């Protein structure tokens, strides 16, 4: 069972996402340990930790939408766009009315340039490494989506706000761009990840199977038991399948009767096993 684990974990402030995994690497020695979605060192909140064969599902969870509670500080911008960076710009504070007036332009699909201090690859090297070598870095814009936002409070130089965003959205970049749209500048003061897809920290006691069942990314495929030997050898063709609860879905739970046998991916109409489980039934 320890060879396939998914844990909803809370990262504390001041630790890198990599350092947050140390306790799990110590606890599950010899097992591969990863996570689905990096949090900056100053940030807190939900991380999905993947252990053993579950690391093969990294892409599944990384592609989920996310929500964050952010505290944006206006009138100041740092090179890292967070509280730990060097101040590179200062400006007058925008009014509350100005802030509220520009926010709607950041809802929906927008073009966004990631922060220069980020892990995005530029010509084969991570952007932050190039910046650290004093190289000039041009961050290409990419399309992201802000599904919704909710203003909690605007007080003095701070905006307290919740964003619901697509994968790949940088909240640091949102803070920067909102500040500039106000005719000022801004950076993040605090950041807390509240949810990843359907998951939140209020559900951190869920078992691995409960976590998997909670997402709607998987369909249930019933396999014919008389073809188990062929399937064990890596062959899954349409005649081996009894039923598929949602044929259009990319990821599949494969069952022999009530036994969860494997997780598979639909690639070009063919099922490819990501990994076999075979440790019990739901």
Let me know: does 32 contact 4? Beta carbons within 8 Å: no
Catalytic residue among 3, 40, 148, 244: 40
CB 188 within 8 A of CB 170: no
d(CA 271, CA 174): 39
Q: Are strands 4-11 and 44-52 parallel, antiparallel or unpaired?
A: antiparallel
Give, rounded to a whole angstrom, the gap between the first and last alpha carbons of the chain: 13
Contact by Cβ (8 Å): 257, 278 = no
State how far the alpha carbon of 149 is from the alpha carbons of 102, 107, 188, in Å: 12, 7, 16
Is 40 one of the catalytic residues?
Answer: yes
Active-site residue set: 40
């Amino acid at each position: 069972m320890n060879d396939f684990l998914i844990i909803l974990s809370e990262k504390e402030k001041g630790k890198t996402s990599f350092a947050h995994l140390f306790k799990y690497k110590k606890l599950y020695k010899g097992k591969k340990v990863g996570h689905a979605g990096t949090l900056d060192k100053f940030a807190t909140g939900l991380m999905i930790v993947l252990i053993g064969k579950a690391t093969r599902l990294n892409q599944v969870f990384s592609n989920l939408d996310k929500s964050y509670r952010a505290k944006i500080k206006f009138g100041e911008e740092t090179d890292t766009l967070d509280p730990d960076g060097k101040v590179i710009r200062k400006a007058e504070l925008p009014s509350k009315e100005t802030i509220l007036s520009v926010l709607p332009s950041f809802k929906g699909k927008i073009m966004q340039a990631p922060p220069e201090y980020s892990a995005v690859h530029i010509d084969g090297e991570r952007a932050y490494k190039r910046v650290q070598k004093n190289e000039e870095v041009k961050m290409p814009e990419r399309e992201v989506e802000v599904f919704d936002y909710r203003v909690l409070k605007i007080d003095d130089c701070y905006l307290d706000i919740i964003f619901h965003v697509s994968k790949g959205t940088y909240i640091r970049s949102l803070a920067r761009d909102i500040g500039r749209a106000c005719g000022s500048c801004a950076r993040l003061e605090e950041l807390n990840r509240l949810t990843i897809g359907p998951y939140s920290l209020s559900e951190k006691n869920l078992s691995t199977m409960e976590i998997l069942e909670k997402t709607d990314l998987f369909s249930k495929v019933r396999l014919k038991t008389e073809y188990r030997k062929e399937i064990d050898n890596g062959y899954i063709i349409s005649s081996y399948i009894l039923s598929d609860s949602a044929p259009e879905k990319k990821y599949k739970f494969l069952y022999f009767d009530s036994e969860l046998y494997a997780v598979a991916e639909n690639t070009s109409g063919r099922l490819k096993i990501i990994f076999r489980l075979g440790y019990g039934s739901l």
